[in-house]
Structure 1
Amino acid sequence: MQSKEFKPLQLDRRAFVRAAGIGAAGLAVPGALAACSTEGSGPEKPEGIENVEQKQLGAETPGVIYPDGYVGPRASQKEPFGDPSKSFKVVVQVDAEDVGDWSTNKFSAWLEKRTGVKIEFVQVMVTGTDGSVDMTKINAMLASNELPDAFLNIPFTSDQVSLYGQQGLFVALQDYIETYAPEARRMRQEYPDFDALNRAQDGNTYWFRGINDCFHCRVSPGRAFVNQKYLDAVGAKIPTTTEELRTVLKALKDNDPTPGKNIIPFGASLTNPLDRFVMNAFLYNPGGDRNGGWLRLNDGKVEFVADKPEWREGLRFLRTLYDDGTLPKTSFTMPQEALLKAGNTGRFGVMRGYWWGSFMDLEYKEDALWHDYVPVPPLKGPGGVQYAAWDHYGYASGNLVITSKCSNPEILVQWADAQMELEAVMGAYGGIKDDNWGWAKEGDTAINGKQAVWYSVEFPAPTGTSWDQHSVMYRSNDFRLGQWVDPKQPTFEKDLYEASLVYEPHQQPKEMQLPPLLFDESSAAQKADTAAAIELAVKEHLAKFSTGELDVNDDAAWDAYVAKFETMGMPAYLEIYQQAYDNRPK
């Protein structure tokens, strides 16, 4: 039973192309929104709204305890500022399971009372039958003259927001934020990288974004687990190097400790690939997918990693595991149904997985099988490399974009800002105060061992009482780890936090990670096509070289693999990224 916390919304390439207006079937917008130049750096610093006094934070709410050094949202008093005679039309996602009807939702009513802002919610389905994002209805709105005042947490990409903002469809918000948004200003001070990461190519800020800084999510795509009971049974310890991993896997294979005597020593799958864990023992590998990846920075130069000599050494290591009989071919092809079947019967010795719910069904019981699987730290390779592939930038969250139709953007900016105050963050996430959440008492211990700030009874909250995670939230790392967990009603958050601690000391230097970048329409189209071809080539040859279908020690086979990337346009692909990196808002 996987929590929604672990199902971030993703745009596949088809949806991206459809939503971004790329190619012949692209989005048609009114003539007034014709493409504009992206030259120029835009405003150096927000100036605020002329002749309007800057709004300040209200008095802090008494009775809320914060640990020393706490960084995150704080509870404070708010006075209504909306005009009761005016309402705003805001487009939101349909979420019948958790939000219910937005118009009758309990948190919607609470927020209206607190702010005085009346919202007419337009509920739109943005998910297709296959679970992918479907922006058809949103595109129709954008292409018409019947725009809403704003879109709340609609899954626009950064490229789309930048493009539509520069075309005049979305309002530039930096001066409104400077004047009307004290919560957002504080958040930007506490997360100094945030502002630049959310500016468009012209330097303007066209969306009001929040933060959801999930500690364990920063490393989850590269995490692996090992069954501690199986290790104990064969007299082995948790491996810390590639050679120790090989030894452990052979011990598990030769002395099969599984109940069915059918162990899979080293498991992985289509959705839990090996490379982001194993290859970081040979070079920094951020991983990738159909949207791009396998790129790093080397002294400011964008590089592709999956054709480097160190990558080849990693493939040689995987080949030794295959030859040992500890890495089956199914680790490159296993679908989710087969993965869960193997996981639920305890067949995996070591498993590459985002979390336990990636490879087995979960129940929070003391004797549940998932408790037996403990994290394997980043492995040190033969050359001393030991990276955790840490995500330094993946914390931006729910957003509000205000359209050119809105006659009072300053009101909606304040409305979004009010959602970032701590009590509003908790209400949007947890529903009704004292029923499903409350403030921690002095002495309550948080997930991170410090003084707790809050507690929650049930997540998701009862249907119709919260906005789940659709609000413009400020859920900092300290906030998330400031949860008191009732020992009688434990949650996975504490276990996930503890399972990630062994990775934190091995995070790669921040300057090695390529930050989120912006691309114009033509570059985005070219990048998308090349990225899809790269993903296919990397994954196909990872399997072929690892399992001996191609000989990794054959120079001709390796050279042919490397040449494939040249043929599919790697130089131009890297140049697109280099230009985007060099021209990024700073």
Structure 2
Amino acid sequence: MKKRWMKWLALGLMGSLTLTACSNGGGSKEANAQLTEEEKNALYTEVGTYPITNEPITMTMFQRIVPNIIDYSTNEFTKYMEEKTNITWKFESATSDAVTEKINLLMAGGTPPDVFIFDTPDEAKFGVKEGLLLPIEDLIEENMPNYKKAMEEVPAIKGRTTATDGHIYNIATVNQCYHCTYAQKMWVNTMWLEKMGMDVPTTTEEFKEVCRKFLEINPKGVAIAGSNDGWFQDPTPFLMNAFILDPGYDTDPKLVLNPEGNVDVIVNKDEYKEGLKFLNELYEMGAIYEGTFTQNSGQLRNLMAQEGEPVLFVPAGTISDVIDSVSNNETYRHYKTIAPIEGASGLRQATYYKHAGIGATSFAITKDCKYPEAALRWIDYMFTLEGTLTSQFGFEGEDWKYAEEGQVGLDGRPATYEILTAYSSEPQNKDWQDVGVSYRTADMRMGAATEEGRDVGSPEGIEELLLQETKNNYEPYPQPEGNYDILPAIKLTAEESTEIQTISVELEKYAEEMRVAFISGTKDIDAEWDDYIKGLEKLQLSKYIEVYNNAYTRQYK
């Protein structure tokens, strides 16, 4: 069966001359001087038409390396867009764990690319303060009819993308995904539960007992596995929620909104300490796989694919990220989500990402880019239904098609499109999947055609599966009123960003190292907790919280 992804309609290249942009030297203002109006008129076609330029041009792009995309340069979606637009991209990339460091190096004395996609430089520092990113609000008005329409349909885009100086440096991506609002999921292998004769655990004690029983009958098995870079593949947040709200994907020291309505962190709270002690109990009994905090998502997938289905519990935003639904469908069908587990205090909650849906820093242009209009017109295609479906799923007629009359979408209303190829997260070179920019509103996502009685265990049933699991096991467990809550997006000023730049790096490193040390037992949590708290304050945790709280107050109070 074909993998889920893109198709390519060949459009003839126009002309033979290749114009080279920032890819030939990057930071040189002279080499990358903006075009005159006369040159623009000669180069560009009418806005909203393709190709974008009358002659081929080349630009550079920074893009994240992910395990399921083989090579951006030879990827079919890349080639399709090259033929469609007359724009060739040369790529500079970094793996997920090195993205931030690589971006900072490129911006601070390196040779920045023309554009960054998916991961972009710190807006306050490199845009507002240093002027290394290009303000694009006027260029959006002149070159992006599809994005302008999206901003009208989703008004929050403008507020989310407007920087503290009033300029716009980033194009947003929209993904109003229901199951993503409860992405912090835990999956259990139901085959093993049946063999053990045990029910799905509902409390921390039951969870511990299921792990203990599993290891008794399967000493070489893995009770809990995870990764350090996959989408919600760290087991800590799900388990910590039985003690205190864990925001999950937020980096340490885990910013939240406290019961008093102020910005705070959880990593210095007594409830967090109790959660770490529970995790340490699991680790000491051999339940948590020792590689969980060091292995990447690719290594987790390899572990999950081993013979005998060795893993009992695995955290993941979607099970299809850790088990291929096509090549390993039997194992894939064995995994179902478990609802949040209840702690000793009676707390039982699912993290609800109510502010999710708009990625506000998804496509930025550096100041010396010679062809910013071309870059924005290129990304504007992604804000059409065709562009989003092609970049995400493949080619019309092969991987997707427009819905026919009578077809019904996921929400019971008339469908707008149908996906024809089954999802697979195996390495492929056809499309960009989820590491580009797309326009997926709630209506768009629910407009995918389905059929009555679709098998949710099939590769084609992934959306139905995630909807079902989310509705049944996570939505019924809201965060308690008057408790900790998820923060909305906070924009720091350039001064604020500079003030905590070093603090945030050191705090994140320290809190993460101590979290793993307390869980693994290399640090005694009872004996060394007070010193740990002192360490946080020594690294200016109070200043860190103060800066974020002031920014939150400015924006939301």
- TM-score when normalising by structure 2: 0.72
Partner of residue 571, structure 1: 542
Match of 1:156 in 2: 120
Query: What is the CA-CA distance between 1:358 and the residue it aligns to?
Result: 6.0
- SS at the partner of 1:424? helix
Among 264, 282, 295, which residue is 2:255 paired with?
Answer: 295
Deviation at 1:156, TM superposition (A): 1.8
User: Which one of the candidate residues 469, 481, 487 is aligned to 1:499?
Assistant: 469
Match of 1:127 in 2: 94
Q: Aligned letter for 1:172?
A: P
Tell me if 1:199 matches 2:162: yes
Task: Tell whether the 8 Å contact from 2:223 to 2:312 is kept in structure 1 after alignment.
Answer: yes
Gaps of 5+ in 1: 6-26, 32-77, 113-118
Please tell me the residue identity of whatever aligns with 2:444. F
Cα distance in structure 2, aligned partners of 1:141 and 1:503 = 43
Structure 1 residue 524 corresponds to structure 2 residue 485: no
| Cα gap change, 1:355 to 1:471, in 2 (>3 Å) | closer
Structure 1 pair 81/453, CA: closer, same or farther in 2 (3 Å)? closer
Give CA-to-partner distance per residue, 1:106-139, whole Å, 9 cap, x none.
34434x4xxxxxx443412223698757758993
Amino acid at match of 2:287: L
Q: Deviations over 1:303-352 (max 9, x none)?
A: 121221212332344455567x4735737667465884476332333333
Change (3 A) 1:284 1:412: same
Q: Aligned ranges for residues 89-104 of structure 1 at < 5 Å? A: 90-93=59-62, 97=71, 100=74
2:192 to 216, 230, 244: 230
Matched residues in 2 for 1:104 and 1:347: separation?
38
* 1:499 shift after superposition: 3.3
* Structure 1 residue aligned with 2:43: none
The AA in structure 1 aligned to 2:290 is: T
Bigger shift: residues 302-311 or 405-414: 405-414
Q: Secondary structure at the match of 2:460?
A: coil
2-structure distance, mates of 1:385, 1:286? 15
Residue 225 of structure 1 contacts residue 373 of structure 1 at CA under 8 Å; is this kept in 2?
yes
> What is the letter of the counterpart of residue 207 of structure 1?
N
Query: 1:280-312 CA deviation, whole Å, 9 max, x = no partner?
Result: 1121111467x5442211244221212212123
- C-alpha spacing 1:169/1:269, structure 2 compared with 1 (3 Å): closer
> Which residue does 1:311 correspond to in 2?
272
Letter in 2 for 1:368: E
Q: Do the aligned residues in 1 keep the contact of 2:225 with 2:314 (CA within 8 Å)? A: yes
Structure 2 letter corresponding to 1:106: Y
Aligned match of 1:480: 445
Contact 1:454 1:482 in 2 (8 A): yes
Contact (CA 8 Å) 2:170, 2:360: kept in 1 or not?
A: no
8 Å CA contact retained: 1:454, 1:484: yes
Report SS of the residue matched to 1:105: helix
In 1, are the aligned partners of 2:161 and 2:360 still within 8 Å (CA)?
no
SS of the counterpart of 1:126?
strand
Is 1:90–1:152's contact at 8 Å kept on the other side of the alignment?
no
Q: Given that residues 455 and 484 in structure 1 are in contact (C-alpha distance below 8 angstroms), is that contact kept between their aligned partners in structure 2? A: yes
* Alpha-carbon shift at residue 455 of structure 1 (Å): 2.2
- SS for the counterpart of 1:121 is strand
Post-superposition offset of 1:463: 8.3
Inter-partner Cα distance in structure 1 for 2:554 and 2:543: 16
| Residue number in structure 2 paired with 1:327 | 287
| 1:279 and 2:279 correspond | no
| 2:388 aligned with 1:425 | yes
Q: Distance in 1 between matches of 2:334 and 2:77?
A: 45
Does the residue aligned with 2:290 lie in a helix, a strand or coil?
helix
Corresponding residue number in structure 2 for 1:561: 532
Q: What secondary structure sits across from 1:401 in the alignment?
A: strand
Q: TM-score, normalised to structure 1's length?
A: 0.68
- Structure-to-structure mapping, 1:431-446, within 5 angstroms: 431-446=394-409
Q: 1:385 aligns to what?
A: 347
Residue 452 of structure 1 aligns with an amino acid whose one-letter code is A
String of CA shifts for 1:215-264, please: whole Å, max 9, x gaps: 444444x321222233233333222332432444455456x3x5xx6444
CA 1:120–1:415 in 2, change beyond 3 Å: closer, same or farther? closer
CA distance in 2, matches of 1:269, 1:467: 22
Q: How far apart are 1:420 and its partner, in Å?
A: 0.7
CA contact (8 A) 1:210 1:473 kept: yes
Conservation of the 8 A alpha-carbon contact between 1:295 and 1:302: yes
Cα distance in 2, alignment partners of residues 465 and 328 from structure 1: 36
Equivalent residues of 2:179, 2:466 under 8 A apart: yes
Trace 1:399-418 onto structure 2 (pairs within 5 A). 399-402=362-365, 404=367, 413=376, 416-418=379-381
Supply the distance in 2 between the matched residues of 1:317 and 1:463 (Cα, whole angstroms).
40
Name the aligned partner's letter for residue 297 of structure 1: L
Asked if 2 retains the 8 angstrom alpha-carbon contact of 1:199 and 1:585, the reply is: no
Residues 23-42 of structure 1: pairs in structure 2 closer than 5 A: none
1:382–1:235 CA distance, 2 compared to 1 (3 A):
same
Shift of 1:206: 1.4
Q: State the distance in 1 between where 2:506 and 2:138 align.
A: 37
**What residue identity is the alignment partner of 2:489?**
P
1:125 match: secondary structure: strand
Contact 2:280–2:518 at 8 Å: present in 1 too?
A: no
CA distance in 2, matches of 1:490, 1:335: 29
Alpha-carbon spacing, 1:540–1:321, altered in 2? closer, same or farther (3 Å): closer
* CA distance in structure 2 between the partners assigned to 1:415 and 1:270 by the alignment: 33
Asked if the contact 1:105–1:465 (Cα under 8 Å) also holds between the matched residues in 2, the reply is no
Q: 1:338 to 1:430 in 2, by over 3 A?
A: closer
**2 CA distance for matches of 1:129 and 1:267?**
19
CA distance in structure 1 between the aligned counterparts of 2:373 and 2:107, rounded to whole angstroms: 26
Structure 1 pair 409/433, CA: closer, same or farther in 2 (3 Å)?
same
User: Shift of residue 381 of structure 1?
Assistant: 2.3
CA distance in 2 between counterparts of 1:334 and 1:89 reads 38
Q: Give the distance between the partners of 1:143 and 1:460, measured in 2 at CA.
A: 37
Describe the SS at the equivalent of 2:534: helix
CA distance in 2 between counterparts of 1:96 and 1:245 reads 38
Q: Which runs of 5+ in 2 are unaligned?
A: 6-25, 31-46, 64-68
Give CA-to-partner distance per residue, 1:16-56, whole Å, 9 cap, x none: xxxxxxxxxxx99989xxxxxxxxxxxxxxxxxxxxxxxxx
CA contact (8 A) 1:93 1:124 kept: yes
Look up the SS of the partner of 1:330 in the other structure: coil
In structure 1, C-alpha distance between the alignment counterparts of 2:293 and 2:407, rounded to whole Å: 46
Whole-angstrom distance in 2 between the partners of 1:133 and 1:383: 38
Task: Tell me what 2:313 maps to.
Answer: 350
Give the Cα–Cα distance (whole angstroms) in 2 for the partners of residues 83 and 320 of structure 1. 60
Deviation at 1:440, TM superposition (A): 1.8
In structure 2, relative to structure 1, the CA distance for the partners of 1:475 and 1:436 (3 Å cut) is same
State the distance in 2 between where 1:341 and 1:79 align: 47
Most deviating of 193-202 and 506-515: 506-515
Distance 1:155 1:129 in 2: 10
Q: Distance in 1 between matches of 2:61 and 2:489?
A: 28
Question: 1:210 and 2:179 equivalent?
Answer: no
**SS of alignment partner, residue 419 of structure 1:** helix
RMSD between superposed Cα atoms in Å: 4.6
Contact 2:174 2:357 in 1 (8 A): no
- What secondary structure does 1:520 align onto? helix
Aligned partners of 2:528, 2:537: CA distance in 1, in Å? 15
Aligned-partner SS, 2:383: coil
